[in-house]
Structure formats: C-alpha cells, structure tokens
Amino acid sequence: MAAAAPSITAPVQGGRSKSELIAFAIMVAFFVIAPNFIYPIFLMKALCFALFACAFNLLIGYVGLLSFGHALYFGWASYVSAYAAKSWGLPPELAILAGAATAGGLGIIAGALAIRRQGIYFAMITLALAQMMYFFAVQAPFTGGEDGIQAVPRGKLFGLINLADQTNMYFFVLSVFLLGFLLIYRIINSPFGEVLKAIRENEARAISLGYKTERYKLVAFVLSATLAGLAGATKAIVFQLASLTDVHWTMSGEVVLMTLLGGLGTIFGPVLGAFSIIAMQNYFAGFGQWVTVIQGVIFVFCVLLFRRGIIGEIANALKIRL
Amino acid sequence: MKTTSLMAFAAAMLLSTAAHAQISDGVIKIGVMNDMSGTYADLAGPGSVLAARMAVEDFGAAAKGLKVEILGADHQNKPDIGSNVVRTWIDVDKVDVIVDVPTSSVALAVNEIVREKNKVFLISGAAASNLTGDKCSPNTVHWTYDTWALANGTGNAIVKTGGDSWFFLTADYAFGHALERDTEAVVLKNGGKVVGKVRHPFPGTDFSSFLLQAQTSKAKIIGLANAGADTTNAIKQASEFGIVAGGQNLAGLLVFLTDVHSLGLKTAQGLIFTEAWYWDMNDTNRAFAAKFSAANKGVHPSMVHAGVYSAVTHYLKAVADLKSDADGKAVVAKMKATPTDDKLMGKGEIRADGRKIHPMYLFEVKKPEESKKPWDYYKLRATIPADQAFRPLAEGKCPLVTN
C-alpha cells in the first residue's frame, strides 16, 4: 500500500488548504445546480456511492488498511434501513440512523477480528466475514432473499418534508452526503487523523511512540463501516429497495475500483471515482454485461497510466492538496 | 439507443399535433426489459423485443394512426439495475408501458415503480404468483404463467397419471422453497405422497449426492424446484446417473423450450412440465415461429415471447379504443374489461387481480427418435382448461379483489 499512498505532506497540521476550500466550493455549487440538467435519480445514486467510496477511502487512504468486505456494511445497513422504514414504519431519518448503527455494530465485530492481522490476511478476513453475512442475507426470511425488500416507503423527513418529491429527496441525499464528507474531512485533519497517517506510514514507529495502534485502527474501521452504512441506508430509501447486489462481494470490489480511479488518499478522489463508475454503469447500461468488461479495461489503464488516480494526478501536477 | 430515442422524442414533440393529443407526447413507447445477455437471454432476451415489434406490425399500428416505438434494455437479473432503468425510462424517456421482465425479484421492484408512476406493466417472463396475490397492482397484468400454475399443472397431471410418489430437489432460497411448497400441496391434495426432499445450495453445480439420494428414495417422480442453470445442470447429471433410464421421471417445475434445446433431446427426454404455449401446436403458431426464428438466428419462440406478443397486442387494442395512453390505471381497466383475443394465445380474459386467464398445457419432451424436424421437442400430454389453470381469485388475497 505504501507505493500507492500519495506523498503529499500536510502544509499546516489540522488546517485546511486553500485548494481544498476552492474544490469544495466548486463541488457544492455543482451539486446544487446539477439536478437542473442531470437526471436526479442518477445523481442521488452517485452521491450515495460517493459517500460509500469516501468512507472506504478513510480506511485505505489514511490508515492503509485494504478492506475487501465493505459491501457488508453498505448492504446490511440498506437492509436494516429498508426493513425499519417498511415494517416498523420508522420515519426515514430514524431508519437511516438504524441502518448506520447496525453497520457500526458489524464494524466493531469485524474490525476487532480483522485488525489483528496485516496485509492480505486482513483483506481476506474482511472478505470472509462479508461473504458469511452475504449468505445469511440470502437465507434470512426478513431480507426477502432473491426478491430483496421492495416498496420501501420514502416517508416524511422529520414528519414534515415529503421525500416522495424528487427535489426534496435530492437535497436530503445531498445533505447526508455533505455531512458524511465533512465528517471524514474533519477526522483526517484531526490529531486522531494524524495518528492514523502515522500508522499508515510506519506502524512500528507509531507503536514505539506509545500509541496503541490497534485501538486507533479499530476506531477508524468502525467509523468507516458506519459511514459506509450511512450511504447504504440512504440508498435503500432513495431506491425504495434493498437487494442482494448491495451485499455481494462485487460491491466490495466496485468501491475499491471507485477509490483507485478517483485517487487513493485524496479527499475528492473517491467522489469523482464514484461518479465516473456510476455514470458508466448508467449510460452504458445498453451494453449489458459488457459494462463489467469496459470497467475492467478502464481499471487496467488507470493502474498503468495514472497510478495516483484522476484527482491524485491533478493534485500532484499542480502541487496542491485535494 | 439513447440518441435515437431522444431524437425520436424530439421529433415526436414537434409532430404532436391535435390528431393524437391524448397519446402522451404523441408516441406510445413500449419498454421491453429483460435479461439480454445472461441465463434468461434465450427464453426472453432480444427475442422479446422482436415479439413486441411483430405485435406492433401485425396490429397495424401505423395504419391506425398510432405511432409506436420500442425500447429494449438489459436488467442483468438485478433488481437495482432494473428499477434504475425503469425510473429513467418513465421519467426521462417517457415510456408508457413496461413489458416482459423475467426474474421475479426485478419484476416485484418494477411493479412498485409502475404503480407509483401510474404506467402499465405487462409481465410475461416473471413467475412469482405474488404479482397477482398480495403484491397485485391496478397497473399490472401478469400474462403468461406463474408459479402457482406451474406447480398446479405439473403436480396435478403427474399424480393423476400415476406419478404419486415424489422426491424434491430444491434450490435453497425463497423461490425454490415457494415452488416446492406449492407443488407439495398439489401432490398431497391429489393423494400422492412426498417421500423425501433435499435442498441444494444456490447456485449449485454438483448435484451428484442429491441425485443419488433421489435415486435411492425410489420415488417415481423427482421434482426439480429450481430454475435456469440449476435445472439444466441437474437434468444433465441425472441423465449421467441413468435416472430416467432407470424408470424414475424428472419433473421440471420451470423449464422453457430454449432450455430443452440447449440440453438436447437425449438428455431432456421424458421430462414433464407445464407451459402456456408451444410453437408446433397449430398452423398459426407455426407461421409465427417461422417468421420469428428467421429474424432470431433460428431460435424458436418460447412461451415468454408468445406472451409478449399477445400482451402488446391487447395493450394496443385498449389504447386504440381509449385513444389515450396517459392514465395507466385506465388502460389496464380497459384491458380487463375487454376479452383478450389474439392469434397466438386465443381467447381469454384478464381477471380483477391482473391475472390473464388462458389454458395451460402439460408437455413431455420427446425421445430423440420421435423428433421429426428441428425444434420438434414436445408432445402434448394434457390440456389444463382455463378455469382450472390458475389460482382461484379468492385464494390470492389480492387487495384489489377483497376491497
């Protein structure tokens, strides 16, 4: 992972750079006006995946832990949120919180087991646990097996705002995304985040400095899982559907692809990566299963030509932080 | 596809003069969505788009002054991709009716979106009987077949013709369980008995130990409560174990013409199952099949294709009568009020719960020496009359009926 990690040193500890502020302003401005000319459902889907990729990036980009089972948190949060909204009749905000909390809980269990090992073993343990829960989702009666949970009501946000309205739903999803995004930004620029980066660069040295790295890694893991869950839970409300696709291991792979394409260890990279991949899936849908092949080719080119990812290469060329 | 449909849409906007003001945006847009490249690509796939096109041509839509356009899409058997496509179709491309949609999980998702957007959903490929049961919708018609009809048709006829002891080989997930449960109920009701059952992991590749259990159970019938590749793999392996040659019969609960074609008669012979339509039953069907296969690389139409043809025909009839396609509920109400009649599936009706009623047929796969021409695979064992072929209205618990 060390090779892929960007070698950008923070100019001011905990401070925000001007380039990040400008990029953030551009991003927010784009999202506010985008629904006027881009299909909102597509944007909402992309935003959910962008948050998912950002959560994943928190773990791989800043702690250097490659989890290959993030679909577990994404998918199970979407099941719980869909079930809570449909069968318990919870309002959307509580359903989403229930989903994110479930993902956090699963993150504690999976994280506590997985962080005892490094590298490939870590990835394999996360994958194994995710697959276990995948098969549980196939069999458990409340997930609806192959059918998934259908016809999830969008409901009224805080009992006031009707989410069946496309615009309301869009700005709700955008708020959730920005909330998650800013939280991640805060985390990586906090003293806690600095320790995470220290662990990424040299875990042995971090230990010798007196940090209990396992605890830091676990907290980062749980935060990442919870935020991935937040994304999955929101997606279930947007699409009114929770299905096996979201817990399948290919989803874990997709999020790796999004993060790598956009730029590992950059703040905006995963957002751009998620948008690129979702746009491909959406607009190339006519090619059917060829989409996967096209994705694979793009991935190969990405690894060969711009190893830092799109945003990573831009940041490197301009010598700024993004 | 995207650009042509957009251009057609723009053209339609310009042309939508007073003549067809009631047809929303001047064009009747039919969206055929199914599995275009995976397991179900042969039994539905591009063939369904072709069947819809043939229905539009035969209906003479152009001569009647109706402008019809057909879109196709691949849902890859994933509910989230399917629901995404349908939302885009309805919101952006202004599609008026969604057709086919095999794979019950996708159909159930589409069912809810179409209900919410008040469009029309004509199901040919999907099986789940919930679609006219607890999930029934005033915007949906379930056209060709369903799990209840398959279980009932196959179960009933087999027990009555002496196959009274059963062993189930079931895919271990919701669909398999439901199919097994429904068939078991039919078998028991007719005085048959179930001597054993075994659940195989889904998707399965190695069925040898399960098939050996089935063989030693001495059941006369081995019921395959699975679908797609699971069914064909199980049948292939059963043939290797000489199960049919040894006097036991396989009952496939969900088998299509294209499955038999890919298995080959040597492997598939003796298989008994229920279908709604077969191309070699009469001259009209044969003529349709000849035209269809010529345009479809020689692949003959399955019952799903025939269902698409029949459903689109009836839909166009209703829209032509109403002179409007804007209100999905009204179109479906009109379709229910008019008896169905088309050259492939004959006369029939659509029930209040959205179930299309027509006879079902029990077929047995021919022995290789009985087959006289390409695609000559089935012999008719029994006809299940229309009034017995589908689940009685009261048993479905459809809210449209009870309220």
Burial class, B332, CB count within 10 angstroms (exposed 0-12 / middle 13-18 / buried 19+):
buried
Q: Looking at the DSSP assignment, which residues form a beta bridge with residue B142?
A: B123, B355
Q: Are B179 and B225 in contact (CB under 8 A)?
A: yes
Residue B212's domain comprises 153-275+360-389
What is residue B295's three-state secondary structure? helix
Q: Are B30 and B52 in contact (CB under 8 A)?
A: yes
* Helix H or strand E encompassing B69: strand B68-74
- Rounded Cα distance, A150 and A169, in Å: 18
pLDDT at residue number A1: 40
* Contact residues of A toward B, CB < 8 A: 39, 41-42, 45, 138-139, 144-148, 150-151, 239-241, 243, 245-246, 281-283, 285-286, 288-290
pLDDT of residue A238: 93
SS3 content of chain B, % helix, strand, coil (to 5): 45, 20, 35
**Residue of B36, B70, B74 to mutate for A, most A C-beta atoms under 10 A:** B74
Give yes or no for B63 touching A (CB within 8 A). no
pLDDT in tens, B344-381: 999 999 999 999 999 999 999 999 999 999 999 999 98
Quick one: pLDDT at residue B70?
94
Distance CA B30, CA B244 (A): 44
What is the interface pTM, i.e. ipTM, of the complex?
0.81
Residues B332 and B196 in one domain: no
Predicted confidence band of residue B188 (pLDDT cuts 50, 70, 90)? very high
Q: Could you tell me the CATH number of the domain that includes residue B250?
A: 3.40.50.2300
* Most A-contacting residue of B84, B92, B112, B113 (CB-CB within 10 A), to test interface: B84
Q: Which of residues 198-257 of B touch A (CB under 8 A)?
A: 202
Concatenating the DSSP letter of every residue in B81-121 gives HHHHHHHHHHHTS---EEEE--SHHHHHHHHHHHHHHT-EE
**Domain annotation covers residue B398:** no
B30 belongs to a structural domain: yes
Q: Measured at the alpha carbon of residue A248, what is the angle toward residues A63 and A71, in degrees to the nearest 5? A: 25
Q: Say yes or no: B235 and B381 in one domain.
A: yes
Residue B74: inside a domain: yes
- Number of domains chain B contains: 2
B28-34 and B97-100: which strand pairing?
Answer: parallel
The residues, ordered by sequence, that sit 6+ positions from B7 with a Cβ below 8 Å of its Cβ are none
Task: Work out the pLDDT band at A288, boundaries 50, 70, 90.
Answer: low
Query: What is the C-alpha separation between A77 and A51, in angstroms, rounded?
Result: 14
Do B124 and B211 fall into the same domain?
A: no
Enumerate the H helices of B161-302 as residue ranges: 174-189, 208-216, 228-240, 257-263, 265-268, 283-295
- B104/A138 Cβ within 8 A: no
> Using the 8-state DSSP alphabet, how is residue B44 labeled?
S
Decide if B403 is inside a domain: no
**Lowest-pLDDT range of A154-163, A252-261, B4-13, B195-204:** B4-13
Q: Is the Cβ–Cβ distance between B359 and B389 less than 8 Å?
A: yes
Are residues B31 and B15 located together in one domain of the fold? yes
Query: What integer pLDDT is reported at residue A138 of this predicted model?
Result: 87
Domain identity same for B204 and B238:
yes
User: Is B65 within a domain?
Assistant: yes
Average pLDDT estimate for A296-304: 87
Kindly state whether residue B332 falls inside one of the protein's structural domains. Answer: yes
Mean pLDDT of chain A: 90
Q: Read off the pLDDT band of A295 (50, 70, 90).
A: confident
Neighbouring C-alpha atoms within 13 Å toward the C-beta of A320? 15
- The answer to whether residues B383 and B298 belong to one domain is no
Are both B136 and B175 inside the same structural domain? no
**Residue B1: pLDDT over 70:** no
With 50 as the cut, is the pLDDT of residue B19 above it? no
- Residues B73, B220, single domain; the answer is no
Do B257 and B294 reside in the same domain of the chain? Answer: no
Give the residue ranges of DSSP H helices in B252-365: 257-263, 265-268, 283-295, 303-322, 328-337
Q: What is the pLDDT of residue B403?
A: 62
Does one domain contain both B266 and B302? no
Find all residues with CB under 8 Å of B267, minimum gap 6, and list them.
Answer: B235, B236, B239
Q: What is the pTM assigned to this prediction?
A: 0.84
Residues B79 and B119 in one domain: yes
Q: Do the domain assignments include residue B401?
A: no
Share of chain B above pLDDT 90, in %: 61
- Note whether B385 and B344 are same-domain residues: no
Question: Across A222-231, B27-36, B67-76, which has the greatest mean pLDDT?
Answer: A222-231
Residue B401 tokens read as 């009926």
